[in-house]
Structure 1
Amino acid sequence: MTILKRLNTPVFYAEGVPTLDQVKDMKLTINFPEHEEILLDILRLREYEFSTIDARLTSVSGWSVRANWQGVIFKSLFDSFDINFDVDHVFMESYGGYTTCVSLKKMLYEKVLLCFMVDGDELELEYGYPFRLIIPHLWGYKSIKAVKKISFIKGYKKGFWEQRGYSDHGEIEPGITYDVNSKKKVEIPGGEVLFK
């Protein structure tokens, strides 16, 4: 059981929580303009350098949880492809069709992680199994769960929540959030939430 489940971290899946059968053999497809797509499964991802980031996932719905997220730093994954292409955004899609888009510049931030474990435990289905993005400096709707496709594109493309009026940029705004770890309300200044 992960720290997320032990802390009773809220679960929100716009497309519904997947079943194990739907995602157990899922591969991650990486698309580039005018280039053959790359398929990665969990075993292949584990061949990359394993990293841990101590960071918070902060939801626009008013909560934040701190954990040690584990997986592959997105920038390391990006750099490993060694392909020259003219792109400036990353469009992502989940197993169930949920989508979001983030600028490449924001995706290359040092803490952005393609995550498959948290505090030493494999992610549960409701928290993004088999792999998800953790983008600690943006609202949680940008940290897509059960991601199955990552496309490097030129120009911005609205995702699921962005089409429904959410911010295209996803920057965390100042306000009050509920800290799942301490069970207290905390004031946040905006940007990445850093309190322990």
Structure 2
Amino acid sequence: MHKLTKLNTPIFWAEGHPGSLKRENWQIEVSGSCEKPGIFTWENLLALPQKEVKGRLTSVTRWSVEGFWQGIPLSEILQAVAVKENCRYIRFWSINKIYDTSIPIEIANKEKSLLAYSFDGELLTEDYGGPIRAFIPYLWGYKSAKSVVAIELMDYYVPGFWEKRGYTDSGEIEAGPCRDLNDGGKIKYIPDGEVLKFN
């Protein structure tokens, strides 16, 4: 059983669960405002510098789970494709390109922003966005797109799947009650911004 399952982490796919996905055949297309657009295969991704960060995925539905996430820093992707100076936003597309969401490039360049493929040493399953997902602990979880197949580098903002349905464009985490899944789902209080600790 996956560690995220053991922690009773909710499984939620707004666009429908994708079923079984083949990790070894995975590709992420990067296009838009860059000098070297291209396709990153699974092997290409693993050949880039890797990082493990301790952080929390915090849902707008008020639960939060902490662990060690491993993957490729988004800053490495941006460097590899030679992002242009006019790029302002990174737009993620999930499998089947139904779900999308965008984050500012400044957030993408932060140290904990990853294309993550493992949690606490276990490869991510499809339930939790595997083979590889965005991990953006600075913003609500809907900005951490699951099963990413494409990244668009853009000089303007486009509302994504949930943003079109009323969620904030910024995705900024707001203070209030939140279930700590690492503590049996106990209700605690979080401050604004990245959840580093509960009040």
User: TM-score of the superposition, structure 2-length normalised?
Assistant: 0.92
3-state SS of the aligned residue for 2:47? coil
Q: Does 2:187 correspond to 1:185?
A: yes
Matched, 1:55 2:30: no
The answer to whether the aligner puts 1:26 opposite 2:26 as a matched pair is yes
- How far the C-alpha of 1:23 sits from its partner, in A, is 7.0
The one-letter code matched in structure 2 to 1:186 is: K
Counterpart Cα distance in 1 of 2:171 and 2:178: 16
Whichever residue aligns with residue 192 of structure 1, its letter is E
Aligned length: 196
1:44 partner letter: N
Calculate the TM-score normalised by the size of structure 1: 0.93
* 1:72-91 matches, cutoff 5 A: 72-91=72-91
Q: Distance in 1 between matches of 2:33 and 2:82?
A: 14
**How far 1:85 moved relative to its partner?**
4.7
Whether 2:165 is the aligned partner of 1:160: answer no
Separation in 2, partners of 1:186, 1:192: 15
Deviation string, structure 1 residues 7-27 (Cα, Å, up to 9, x no partner): 120111111111115776331
Would the alpha carbon gap of residues 90 and 47 (structure 1) be closer, same or farther in structure 2, given more than 3 Å must change? same
Match for 2:133: what amino acid? Answer: R
Runs (4 or more) in structure 1 with deviation over 3 Å come to 21-24, 33-37
RMSD between superposed Cα atoms in Å: 1.7
Asked if the contact 2:74/2:114 (under 8 Å) is kept, the reply is: yes
Equivalent residue, structure 2, for 1:171: 172
Alignment correspondent of 1:130:
131
User: Please, which moves more after superposition, 180-189 or 23-32?
Assistant: 23-32
Which structure 1 residue ranges, 5 or more long, are not aligned? none
Q: What's the counterpart of residue 71 of structure 1?
A: 71
C-alpha displacement of 1:119: 1.2
Partner of residue 196, structure 2: 194
Residue 113 of structure 2 is matched in structure 1 by 112
Instruction: Assess if the C-alpha contact under 8 Å between 1:2 and 1:119 holds in 2.
Output: no
Give structure 2 stretches of 5+ with no counterpart: none
| C-alpha distance 67-79 of structure 1, shift in aligned 2 (>3 A) | same
Deviations 1:96-128 (A, max 9, x none): 310101111111111101101111111011101
Judged with a 3 Å threshold, the aligned counterparts in structure 2 of structure 1 residues 34 and 105 are, in CA distance, closer, same or farther, namely closer
Secondary structure class of the residue paired with 1:156:
coil
Amino-acid identity (%) = 36
Q: Which amino acid aligns with 2:6?
A: R
The letter for the 1-side match of 2:2 is: T
Q: Structure 1 residues 139, 9: CA separation in 2 closer, same or farther (over 3 Å shift)?
A: same
CA deviations 1:144-194 (Å, max 9, x no partner) are 000111000111000000001100000000001000010211101110001
Give the residue type in structure 2 aligned to 1:38.
G
